[in-house]
Structure formats: C-alpha cells, structure tokens
Structure 1
Amino acid sequence: MLVEMRSPVFKEQGVERPPIIFKEGLNVILGKEDGENSIGKSSAMLAIDFVFGGNTYIESDGVKHIGNHTIFFAFRFDGVDFYFARNTSDSDKIYVCTSEYDLTGDVWTKEKYSNWLKEKYSLDFPGFSFRVTLSSFVRIYGKENTDERKPLRGIPGQGMQDSISMLVALFDRYKDVEIYNQRLVEEKKKLATYREARKYHFVSDLVGGKTKYEENLEEIRCLELQLAALTEESEKGHTEEEVKKSKAKAMLSAHKLQLETEIQSNQRKLKLLEMSLEYGLYPTEADMSGLQEYFPGVNIRKLYEVERYHKKLAAILDDQFVIERDSVQEEIDSIQSQISQINSQIFELGYVGNVSKEFLDKHSQIKGNIDALRQQNFAFLTLTELQEAKKRADDLLKRSIESILVEIQTELNEKMKSYNDSLFDDSRKAPNLRFREYNSYVFETPDDTGTGSNYKGMVIYDLAVLNCTALPAIAHDSLILKNISDKAINGIMRIYAKSTKQIFIAFDKQAAYPQETQDILLKNRVLQLSDNNCELYGQSWNKEGDEQNEDELQ
C-alpha cells in the first residue's frame, strides 16, 4: 500500500510540509469548513494518482504555476518499504531511492513500475492493465472519468466494450474466455491470410459471391455435357480413361522433347569447354614466328612479356573450365535420368490408340474450363467456410462473455443493494447495472435519475467493485461527494471507514454534516488544507471560483 508522499513544493507558511503519511482504509484530504476553493485538494489527489503512475498531475495548474518538481513516495508490501521518486519533467522514469530518498542510480520505466505494482498487489490477471484499471476508479477533477451517468467509463474515449472487458479482467474472468478469444484470433488470421492469397492470385479469385457460384455450377453442367458429346461423337471407341492416357502421353512426350533440346545445348557447351582445355587459349611459338613474318617491325620481346601474363591467366582459366565442364556434365546426366523416367512412364501407359490432336485439344480446352470454374467455386466455398468459422468463434466468445457478465452483474448488484440499504432508514431503490449484450450495458437507479442519485450510484458502484475484486484502491474528489445528499454521505462515510483497502477522498464543508461524518473525517485526516499560506503549495493564485468549478486543479 502507499505509505507516504512528500515534495519540496508542498509547503505551509513558507516551510516544506512533512511527509503525508497514509494508512490502510480511509485517507482524507480535508479542506476548509466554508468550502474555500483553490487550496490544493484536487492537486493533492492528483499527486496521489501521479505516484500510482498517472499523468494528469503533469497538466495541473499546480505544475503550471510552481514549475516541474519531484514527488517522493513509498509503498509497503509484506512489511518491506520501497522508496521512489518521480519528476514531472521526465515522468516516464521512476527513480529507485534509499529510505532517505537518495537516488540509488536504479531507474525504471513507467511500464516496469506499473508491472511491479501489478505484481505486488497480486493483480497479475490475464488481460489486466494495472494503470488503466486503477485510473478508472481514481475519480478526480481533470481526469474526465467523473461522468455520473457513465461510471464504467474509466478513461477518456473508452467505449462500452472496452469498459466491460476491463471489468471482466478485474474479476479475473478473462482466463475463462481466453480460449474463445484465441480461437477467434486464429480464425481471423486464417481469413485474412486467405484473402491476401486471393489478392495476389495464389488461389482463384472469385468475384460475385453466391450468384457467381451458382452461375458457375450451371456452366459446369453445360460443359460436362459438351465433353460427354465430344467423347461420344468425335472418337468412337475411346473411353475417358484412354483420353486421359493420351493426354498424359502427349504431355510426357512434350516434356521429353524439351529435355532432349536441353541436352543438345549442354552437349555443345561441353564440347567447347573440352576444346578449350585441349588446345588452350594462348598462341604457340609458331604463332609468334608467323606474326613476325607478316609484321617485320613488331616488338617480339614485348609480345612475349604480354604472353607470359596470358599463360598465367590461362592456367587459372583452365581450372575454371574444368569446374564448369564437370557442372555441365552433371546437368546432362541429370537430364538423361529424367528422360529415362519419362520413357518409363510412357511405357507404363501402354498403347492407347489413335486419338487425334484436334480431339485432344478440344477435350483439353473444355476440361480446362471445367477445372477453372471448379477452382473458382472451391475458392468461394473456402472463403464462405472461413467466414462462417470466424462468425462461429465470435458467437462463442460473445456467449461466453455474456454468461460471465450475468454472474458479475448479479454479484455487483447484490453488493450495491446492500450498501444502498445501509444508507437510509427507509427502503430506497439501489443503483443497478444491467449488461444488455457482451458490449453494452445500462447503469441507472430505477425511477430516480437525479444528479445526487447518479453520483451516489457511482460511489456505491466503486465501493462494490473495490470489495468484490482485487482492486487495491479508489479515490473520490470532493466535486463527486458534494453532489450527494447529506444523509447518503453519512452512510457512505461509514462504509468508507470500514474498508481495509485504501480509499482516498477530498472533502470540505465538513461542519455542515452530522457529527458522525465529522468524526470519521477528522479521525482519518492525513492532510489539512486552508488559505493564508496553508494551501498545498503554501500559496494561492486564484482566490475566485464558482460553484461548478469549486475544486479546480491547482
């Protein structure tokens, strides 16, 4: 748990404030009884969020007016204290400190720090984000998660489905749907891969969907009739098997001819290489004498010098000719082996009879068209099956999530009803969470849509989640609590006070509430703020404010 927080900029009467000491359960940042604003209640709350890894404090009015600064803080887990520092100018780094807050030189990334907190709070659940989840229940002015009509939306822009997924992970139920989620991911990959293959024509690309598929079936039937008629009328006595054998022999013969042409080409190469090796590529003594006879003035000495170089070069070339000759010979041997295999295949096909080339060409054309259409239809059926498999996986995932949501909904509603009943002497309708689908919900207090009732519902919802899950802490700014009726606040304070998990609240105008509430606030006060240099930073830069922005960031 968080045990302390301090900063050189936290001052009172010009002197640095002592560390703010936190405890288990309720921790109250108390303002003035007259509700004086701009004294730093929200800034202190945001500083707490900052030490948990939040970033909203960086944009607060306090940082704008005071400038960048460091906040030092400590957590305690299993009786061991861990000390850290974080600066607003380089907030992605968390500095590990000694117990005197001297830097040890060990620097963590914010991600590593968040994962460390996740582990220490025993929140290592599948699909769980420590920072997003905790931030969702730290409701402070400026974080944009204080909309009382949408309490499940924890961060700006978060949709219903993401809010629900976060809740599923927090209840450690994500593992129950992970197998369905993995199956959906796999089916999506298969579909995407197949579509890419069609895009690059690695498989047949059918355009037109089911209509084209049915048209292809009709055309295949027509072509099959043509093929049957061709076989019957053009070549009597030739069975389909004989036609297949004839086509196979024709293809084998064509391949054999191609291989024989390759052998002839390689044999010519081989002959040239052997001639080069036998006769060489450099002139003889007789060649030199003949050259002098025709050109008496030629410099024979110079030619011999050049020729010595050529002889050295020729020796190197001879080695290369040998390598190339052996390579060509290996290729000839390989081709001859292929020709032998083709001859064996032709022999195995046996005598087929005299099937005309015209017949074979026509037969091949029709058969090719049939095969192409069948490939198109196979592509369509494959795509359809992949789409249906993805839909089945998606439906299974949705149904599994919806089943889990029913259990979560029941547990939270029972806890919220219990809390709501404890607030009043008479029976009042409790806030109610209803999941309509895997990605949609309704949160309301039936027949009571007033502002005070909605804020009360949000606070009760947070308390229910806090006590039904492993969520380690929640925080409520004074702007939330001041909108709730005095009687409900008194009951909420009793619930706060009984918590063993940390709850951080900002509160003011305490004298306006019943004595029981005042006593709880004073007993759990960890920081007292007021005006006249007793603000969080020891100064105030905005003495004016309105009721709507009473807790404006400082």
Structure 2
Amino acid sequence: MLVEIRSRIFKEKIIKFHQGLNVVLGDNQGANSIGKSTLLMILDFIFGGNTYISHNKDFINKFGDHDFEATFKFKETAFYFIRSTKDPNIVFESNQNFEKLVPIKLDNYREFLKESYNLESGQIKFRSAVSTFSRVWGKNNYDVRRPLHNHHSEKNIETVIKLIKLFNEYDKIAEQDKELSKLDESKKILNKAGKLDLIPKISKRKYEKNLKEINFLKEKIEKLSKNAYSPFINLSEIVSDELVQLKVQKKKLLEEQDYYRSRLHRTSKKRELSASIDFENLLEFFPKINMKKLESIEDFHNGINSILSKELRNARKEIKEKLKLLSDEIIEINQKMEAILSQTEESTLFMDQVIEYSSELKNLQSENDHYNNFQEIRTSIVAKTTLLNEIKEKIVTRLTDDINVQLTEINNFIYENKRTAPEIELNYSNYDYKFFENTGTGKAYTNLIIFDLAILRLTALPFIIHDSVLFKNIEKEVVERLIYFYNSMSKQVFIAIDFINIYNQKTQDIIKINTVIHLTQHNLLTQIDWRNRDK
C-alpha cells in the first residue's frame, strides 16, 4: 500500500497514509482552491496517472518542475520511488534517503504496482484497472450514468471488456478469441491463394462433379488392375505421388520442347533477300528520277537484312541449347520412371494408362481436399464463434448477478432498506446503469459511489479515490452511512471532504481519526499560494 508522499512544494513536507480510509479534510466553510482535489490528483500521479500534468498546469507554472517522492510497503518491505513533472515517463527507484538511483520506464513502474497489488489478470494493465475508480475533479470520469467509463470517448465495449479483465475472467475469452483469429487468418490465406491460383478453388457444383469423376476413374483403374500385366506390376508404385509428379513434369517438358522446335523451324527458314533492282531501266520511263536516293534506300534494306540474319543465327543457337537441356531433362525423368517401374515394352501402354488415370484422379482429389479444408475452416469458425458468444454470455451474466447482489447489499446498508438499489445490465458490447424511484443528483452520486464500493469488494482493485465533488449534493445521513462503510474497508480508500460539522459526532470522529491532512484557507497544501500571482 501507499505509505507516504513527499515534495518540496508541500507545506507539510511529508503526508502519511494508512490502511483503510484516508481523508483529505477541508474546512467547514467549504473553501475552494486549498489543495484537496490537487492532492488527490497527485495521488493519481503517484499511481502512474498523467492527468496531473495536463490538468494542473498552474501548479507546474507556479512552482516549476518538481518531484514527488513515494514510499510503498508490500509484504513488510518498503519500496521508494521518485516521479517528476519534468520527465513523467521516467520513474526513479531510490533509497530511504530519496536519492535517485535507477531510472525505469513508466510502464515498468506500473507493471511493478500491478504485481505488488496482486492484480491477477494478465490481460489488464494497472492504469486500466485503477484509473476509472480514481474519480477526481478534472478527470471527467464521474458521469453517474456511465460508471465504467474513464472518459467520454471510450467505447462501451471497451469498458465492459475492461471490467471482465478486472474480474480476472478474460483469459477464457482471450483463448477462444486467439483460436478464432487463427481460423480467420487461415480462411484469408486460402482465399488469397485461391485468387492467385496457387491452390485450386472450386464451387460446390464442381466438387460434386469431381466426386463422380473420381469414382469413374477409380473404376477404370480397378479394371486395369485386372489386366494381364497387373500381376507383374506394383500398382501402388505406379500411382505413387513421385511417379505422378514425374509424369506431370514430363508432360510439361514435352510441351515446352514442341514450342521451341516450332520456333527453331520458323527461324531456320531462309530469308529471301531482295534482288538488286536494275535502276538503269527506270531512267527510260523516269528520266528525272534521283538515282542516288534509290541506291541509298537499297543499301539500307541490305543492312537491315544483314542485322536480322545475325539475330536469327543467335536465336537459333539459343533455341538449340534450350532444346538440348529439355531433351536431357526428359531423358533423366524417363530414367527415374524406369527405375521405379522397371517397365518392359509390352507393359508400356498399360502403365501409361494407369499413370494417366492416377494423375487425373490425384488432381481431382486435390481440388476436393482443398474444398473440404476450406469448408472445415468455415464450419470451425461458426462453431468457435458460437462457443465464444456462449462463454461471453455466461461471464457477463455471472458478473451482472454478482455486482447487483453487492449493489443491493451496500445500498440497503446506506439507506437502511428505504431505497431501491441501482442495477447494472451487462452484455458483452454494452451496459446500462439503471436508477429507480429517486433520480435526483444526490442519489445519482450515491449510486456512483456504491458502484465503486461494489467493485472494490468483488475484485482485486487495490484502492478507490473519491473527490469532494461527489459528496456535495448527497443527504447528510447518507454521507454518514457512507463514511461508516468506507471505514469498514481494509483496502485503501482516499476521499476529500469538507463541512464535517454538519455530520453526527461519530461520523466526525471517524473522519478526524482518518484525516491525513487538514486544509483550510490558511493552511494550504503548498508553501506558496498559487492562487495569487503576486505571491
């Protein structure tokens, strides 16, 4: 728990805290700007928050950058830290003399607090757990209708998920959600592979057509197995994946070989060079023709023919080399096939038929296998989504029941069974905090406080912070009962309150005993009055 904080800006250099209720007490005039809310905001800063930096700029402008030195005690061991407004993203580990020793990142400091306060869920971060329930003026998280919201822009589903994590119930959802994400990713990959033709993608109609063709091919292969040659040939070897693959490769090589042979044939045709034209005969009909121009054109054509002939020779050379490589590859594949089959001349036709049918059969089976795989993933996604929704429904139903039981119990204590308790309605993506009968401001803020107390009781939430603004419109008898309830808590509760002379003596005694600092117009939080620019 938090034991004390120190700062050079404080009038009282050290502010000590204890287990249970901790009161920042104002005066009976309800004086404003004496430091009550500021101290609570500093507590939020000590607990890893950042609102102090943005909301309390007047403090930083008045006092310059300043440090806060904090002492925590967990399992009888003291831990010392220093956090500064100068670089709030760094927290210093220190000793009891508050000498800055080891700088650590703010996230690591928050992780230390999470572990030390035994927040069990690995799914939730420390600030996500505590920030909503640190209701201090300036944080804008005291909307009485939206008790799970840390800020107005937060989505309802985010707040519900955060609550589930705080109850340490999210691991079951996360596990199923992870598996569902994997299935979704597999579906996307298969879809993309199908669009790029990396794997066959067929329709249900083609799948059923393939089934008929597969059965037909199996019948053909079965008939071949009764052939006279079949006793001497191992059909399982013939239809092996390796042999089918060799057959497919050979087919592609033969097609490529035919293509290059055709190109070689075209490039081998003799180009008919244009015969020299007897330009002298043209003079008889065209005495003014430009003979030099005609001769230069003829020279150009002869040059082009010479270049093309050279290119064709090079092309023929490359094609012949390619054909040689293809021929070698075909010979190599034939040797591999012969090694597998040890085929004789008489069985060649038989084996070719078996391989041809088997190759076609495997292609069809591959298409159907990919179809089945895709359908299985789709079915699994539907099943997993249904299961995930059922898990979510069970969790939110259980949480709803548990919270509402606590709300009723606390409400009945506060109002002595005279008022209807608020209720929360939860589903995975939304929630509604419902009031009944009295919808006045005082009852609304009481309901907000009751909600926080219920969550503090039910979860590993380590503390709550309630500013004096929450108590302003609440009936004095209700505040008295709230103070009794706060005082019964073993976890730390930090509140700011004033006007205590209006409460009964027992309430005043509880407040005074638990007061950690008493602030008035003449006893401010800080040494310097930040409200007066001249001081």
Q: TM-score, normalised by structure 1?
A: 0.69
Find the counterpart in structure 1 of residue 385 from structure 2: 394
- In the alignment, what sits opposite 2:313? none
Do the aligned residues in 1 keep the contact of 2:207 with 2:371 (CA within 8 Å)? no
SS at match of 1:389: helix
Match of 2:180 among 180, 184, 189: 184
Alpha-carbon spacing, 1:257–1:441, altered in 2? closer, same or farther (3 Å): closer
Which stretches in structure 1 are left out of the alignment for 5+ residues?
12-16, 207-212, 232-237, 262-330, 356-362, 544-554
Alpha-carbon deviations, 1:261-285, whole Å to 9, x = none? 9xxxxxxxxxxxxxxxxxxxxxxxx
Question: 1:137-536 to 2 correspondence within 5 Å?
Answer: 137-155=133-151, 157-204=153-200, 213=203, 216=206, 254=251, 338-344=333-339, 348=343, 351=346, 382-435=373-426, 437-532=427-522, 534-536=524-526
Whole-Å separation in 2 of the counterparts to 1:481 and 1:258: 89
Task: Answer yes or no: is the 8 Å Cα contact 2:62–2:530 preserved in 1.
Answer: no
Aligned residue identity for 2:125: S
Tell me, in whole angstroms, the C-alpha distance in 2 between the residues paired with 1:337 and 1:110: 67
1:180 aligned partner, one-letter code: Q
Q: Secondary structure at the match of 2:484?
A: helix
The aligned counterpart of 2:96 is 99
Q: Is the 8 A contact 1:30 1:527 kept in 2?
A: yes
Shift of the 457–383 alpha-carbon distance from structure 1 to 2, 3 Å rule, reads farther
| Deviation digits for residues 443-493 of structure 1 (CA, Å, limit 9, x no counterpart) | 212344333222211111111111222211100111122232222211111
Equivalent residue for 1:47, pick from 34, 42, 48: 42
Distance 1:253 1:467 in 2: 75
Residue matched to 2:15: 20
Say which SS state the counterpart of residue 148 (structure 1) adopts: coil
Equivalent residue, structure 2, for 1:116: 112
CA distance in 1, matches of 2:330, 2:224: 33
- 1:547 matched residue in structure 2: none
1:36 paired residue among 26, 31, 40: 31
Structure 1 stretch displaced more, 475-484 or 157-166: 157-166
Change (3 A) 1:530 1:197: farther
User: Structure 1 residues 189 and 484 mapped into 2: Cα distance closer, same or farther (>3 Å)?
Assistant: farther
Shift of 1:346: 6.9
Q: In 2 relative to 1, CA 152–251 (structure 1 residues): closer, same or farther, beyond 3 Å? A: closer
CA distance in 2, matches of 1:416, 1:489: 16
Which amino acid in 2 is paired with 1:139?
Answer: R
Summarize deviations over 1:245-265 as a string: whole Å, max 9, x none.
Answer: 9x989868657869999xxxx
* Residues 195/252 of structure 1: CA separation in 2 closer, same or farther (3 Å cut): closer
1:1-37: CA deviation from partner (whole Å, max 9, x where unpaired): 00101211123xxxxx220000111111112222221
CA distance in 1, matches of 2:349, 2:147: 85
Q: Deviations over 1:212-265 (max 9, x none)?
A: x366569879x96xx99xx9xxxxxx98999x99x989868657869999xxxx
Matched, 1:5 2:11: no
Q: Which residue does the alignment assign to 1:72?
A: 69
Letter paired with 2:393: E
Tell me the residue number matched to 1:60. Answer: 55
Kept in 2: contact 1:2–1:23 (CA 8 A) = yes
The answer to whether the Cα contact below 8 Å between 1:141 and 1:477 also exists between their aligned partners in 2 is yes
Identity %: 28
- Please report how far the alpha carbon of residue 158 of structure 1 lies from its aligned counterpart in structure 2 after TM superposition: 2.9
Q: Unmatched 5+ residue regions in structure 2? A: 228-234, 259-325, 351-355
Q: Is the 8 A contact 2:23 2:515 kept in 1?
A: yes
Paired AA for residue 116 in structure 1? F
Mean CA deviation greater in 135-144 or 479-488: 479-488
Query: In the aligned structure 1, how far is the partner of 2:196 from the partner of 2:37?
Result: 58
Q: CA deviation at 1:43?
A: 1.1
Alpha-carbon distance in 2 for matches of 1:174, 1:254 = 57
How many matched pairs? 442
Instruction: Measure the CA separation in 2 of the matches of 1:457 and 1:26.
Output: 19
Are the aligned partners of 2:90 and 2:106 in contact in 1 as well (CA < 8 Å)?
yes
The one-letter amino acid paired with 2:384 is A
